[in-house]
Amino acid sequence: MQRMNIATDTRSRIIAAAKPRFHSRSYANVGIQEICESAGVQKGSFYHFFPSKRDLVMAVIDAFADEWANGFVAEAFDPALPPMERIDYLIDAAYFWQKSIKQVHGRMLGCIFGNLTLEVSTQDDILRAKLLAIFTRAKSRFKETLEQAVAAGTIPPLDAGLTAEAMLAYLEGVILLAKAQNDPELLYRLGPAIKTLRIELSGD
Amino acid sequence: MQRMNIATDTRSRIIAAAKPRFHSRSYANVGIQEICESAGVQKGSFYHFFPSKRDLVMAVIDAFADEWANGFVAEAFDPALPPMERIDYLIDAAYFWQKSIKQVHGRMLGCIFGNLTLEVSTQDDILRAKLLAIFTRAKSRFKETLEQAVAAGTIPPLDAGLTAEAMLAYLEGVILLAKAQNDPELLYRLGPAIKTLRIELSGD
DNA sequence: ATCGTAGTAGACCGACCAGTCAAATGCAAG
DNA sequence: CTTGCATTTGACTGGTCGGTCTACTACGAT
């Protein structure tokens, strides 16, 4: 059991070293060697736990997804909140998170899922599928929320699935533009407009 | 003058070789050597025309920007069209372009400006500024269009600057999500909702 | 004819890349 | 005490990276 903990420790030290690097730079720009040095681990140990760089980045994706799912996302999609306020909350959370990262790191890092998607999805279908699954789950959260808002009469009926996808796209797009400006304040200015997006039910 | 043409030819052959590569892969994943081989040019010649890889990608960015400005964008933002129809046209153009690329290349490549922004903007402020300028110009096009739509009474008054930025963000976000799905049809389904985005004039 | 210069050629540089491997170590179960 | 496996070590591979350098060619201007 002791061994298990040590092993887990090495593995998680690698992930902990990799996370901020993949977030702040890019997949291709971060090398295994650098991660090993930062984690205090030898090459051989690294490849004991991860068959390839791709497997590492997948673990990093999971780590970020868990962090979000257990943090801001869980707070935002609290069933106790009125549906549309959950969306406000999520936008706020994204804004404050990006802002705090910029204060510490000096730069807007954006969304790691979006970053990786645009970098690797033409080159690696396995990574693309992994990232797509993250987006699909996020879309479901939006969709449920919209359905509840419609059921509650807060908003008129609409195509919840497509509108959810549109909202997710908008959020990613705003983060992209904010990153181009290195300014999280754009999220503050543009974020709330996410609720104006609407796709009507197609007539059939 | 003859020399000028030959020189221009070499330079533009390099750019022509680089364009599809940077578009379909990533900045870091495309090497100078590969570009030289594809363009039939030696390393020395390459560095005669481009001081660095960054200068090449800037020329590539300009080439894409020109291609768009003289093509679809010029068609879409035709003053003869009713303002809001120009936006429809632009979405259509983006959709058909991505679709045709996928038919030829087998993949959704997305927007090279968005791709590069997420990849390099934390690592190279000069490239970030270059890309930001592209987005700023695009935003201006949307803004003028919205202002004209308001003047014509087609849509109620709104904050044209912020709404234009929101629309640009949405477009980039939809392309990002479509790339994650490797499916340009998402542009077709989500694109038209761009016109539902609205940011009201702030009260001051 | 010759000089200057734009362009070309291609070997070369040190650094880094992802990934491999054989040998050693540590530890738990028998 | 021994066997066996998880883990670690660190040297090593073949290849690529962006970029440099010197020599050479081609051509226009004087």
CA distances from B15 to A23, B20, B47 (A): 30, 9, 13
pLDDT value of residue A2: 40
Judge residue B172's burial from the number of C-beta atoms within 10 Å of its C-beta, 0-12 exposed, 13-18 middle, 19 or more buried.
buried
Local confidence band at A1 (pLDDT 50, 70, 90 cut-offs): very low
Taking phi over 0 as left and psi of -120 to 50 as alpha, with beta for the rest, B197 belongs to beta
Is A26 near chain B, with CB under 8 Å?
Answer: yes
pLDDT surpassing 50 at residue B28: yes
pLDDT surpassing 90 at residue A203: no
Local confidence band at B1 (pLDDT 50, 70, 90 cut-offs): very low
Instruction: Note whether residue A202 is domain-resident.
Output: no
Please, what is the Cα angle at B176 between B194 and B163, to 5 degrees?
Answer: 30
pLDDT surpassing 90 at residue A171: yes
Instruction: Note whether residue A92 is domain-resident.
Output: yes
Nearest CB to A176: which of B25, B108, B114? B114
State pLDDT tens for residues B75-100: 899 999 999 999 999 999 999 999 99
Domain containing A7 — which CATH number?
1.10.10.60
Chain B residues near residue A122 by CB distance under 8 angstroms: 24-25, 107-109, 179
Instruction: Note whether residue A131 is domain-resident.
Output: yes
Instruction: Note whether residue A201 is domain-resident.
Output: no
Domain that holds residue A36: 1-52
Mean pLDDT, rounded, for B114-140: 98
| For chain B, percent of residues with pLDDT exceeding 70 | 96
pLDDT surpassing 90 at residue B118: yes
Q: Are residues A93 and A48 in the same domain?
A: no
Nucleotide nearest residue A53, measured CA to C1' = C18
Residues 115-174 of A with CB under 8 A from B: 115, 117-123, 128, 131-132, 135, 162-163, 165-166, 168-174
Q: Are residues A32 and A78 in the same domain?
A: no
Local confidence band at B126 (pLDDT 50, 70, 90 cut-offs): very high
pLDDT value of residue A5: 55
pLDDT value of residue B5: 56
Q: Are residues B41 and B77 in the same domain?
A: no
DSSP output for A177-201: HHHHHT-THHHHHHGGGGGG---PP
Q: Are residues A91 and A184 in the same domain?
A: yes
CA distances from B169 to A117, A143, A154, A180, B166 (A): 16, 21, 26, 11, 5
Q: Are residues A45 and A89 in the same domain?
A: no
Instruction: Note whether residue B1 is domain-resident.
Output: yes
CB neighbours of residue B151 within 10 Å: 10
**CB A160, CB A147: distance < 8 Å:** yes
Average pLDDT score over chain B: 95
Instruction: Note whether residue A148 is domain-resident.
Output: yes
- Taking alpha carbons only, the member of B110, B72, B71, B104 closest to residue B88 is B72
Instruction: Note whether residue A87 is domain-resident.
Output: yes
Q: Distance (Å, rounded) from C-alpha A175 to C-alpha B161?
A: 17
B171 contacts A172? CB cut-off 8 A = no
Q: By mean pLDDT, which of A6-15, A111-120, A166-175, B44-53 is the weakest?
A: A6-15
B119 contacts A118? CB cut-off 8 A = yes
- Taking alpha carbons only, the member of A11, A20, A155, A198 closest to residue A101 is A20
- Helical (H) or strand (E) element with A164: helix A160-181
Half-sphere exposure of B15 (CA within 13 A, CB side): 20
Q: By mean pLDDT, which of A27-36, B6-15, B22-31, B129-138 is the weakest?
A: B6-15
Please, what is the Cα angle at B114 between B110 and A182, to 5 degrees?
Answer: 165
pLDDT value of residue A24: 98
pLDDT surpassing 50 at residue B3: no
Domain containing A179 — which CATH number?
1.10.357.10
Instruction: Note whether residue A62 is domain-resident.
Output: no
Q: Are residues A36 and A92 in the same domain?
A: no
State pLDDT tens for residues B161-176: 999 999 999 999 999 9
Q: Are residues B43 and B79 in the same domain?
A: no
Both tokens of A120, joined, read 């690797």
Chain B residues near residue A183 by CB distance under 8 angstroms: none
Chain A residues near residue B176 by CB distance under 8 angstroms: 114, 117-118, 169, 172-173, 176
| For chain B, percent of residues with pLDDT exceeding 90 | 91
State pLDDT tens for residues A5-58: 555 799 999 999 999 999 999 999 999 999 999 999 999 999 999 999 999 999
Judge residue A80's burial from the number of C-beta atoms within 10 Å of its C-beta, 0-12 exposed, 13-18 middle, 19 or more buried.
exposed
Q: Are residues A13 and A76 in the same domain?
A: no
Q: Distance (Å, rounded) from C-alpha A83 to C-alpha A66?
A: 22
Q: To the nearest whole angstrom, how far is the Cα of B83 from the nearest Cα of chain A?
A: 20
Chain B nearest-CA residue for A30: B28
Question: Considering its fold, how many domains does chain A have in total?
Answer: 2
- Taking alpha carbons only, the member of A151, A153, A149 closest to residue A81 is A149
Give how far the C-alpha of residue B44 lies from the chain's centroid of Cα atoms, to the nearest Å. 30
Q: Are residues B116 and B78 in the same domain?
A: yes
SS (H, E, C) B53-90: HHHHHHHHHHHHHHHHHHCHHHHHCCCCCCHHHHHHHH
Strand C contact with B3 (CB < 7 A): yes
| For chain A, percent of residues with pLDDT exceeding 90 | 91
Mean pLDDT, rounded, for A83-99: 97
Judge residue A50's burial from the number of C-beta atoms within 10 Å of its C-beta, 0-12 exposed, 13-18 middle, 19 or more buried.
buried
Q: Are residues A91 and A159 in the same domain?
A: yes
Tell me the backbone φ, ψ of residue B199, rounded to 5 degrees: -120, 120
Please, which contacts does B75-79 make with residues 24 or more away whose CB atoms are closer than 8 Å? B77/B141, B77/B144, B77/B145
Average pLDDT score over chain A: 95
Q: Are residues B113 and B184 in the same domain?
A: yes
Tell me the backbone φ, ψ of residue B108, rounded to 5 degrees: -75, 120
As a dihedral over the C-alpha atoms of residue A113, residue A119, residue A121, residue A127, rounded to 10 degrees, the angle is: -60
Q: Are residues A180 and A109 in the same domain?
A: yes
pLDDT value of residue B6: 54
A118 contacts B197? CB cut-off 8 A = no
The ipTM assigned to this model is 0.95
pLDDT surpassing 70 at residue B4: no
* Rounded CA–C1' distance between A38 and C24, in angstroms: 24
Q: To the nearest whole angstrom, how far is the Cα of B30 from the nearest Cα of chain A?
A: 10
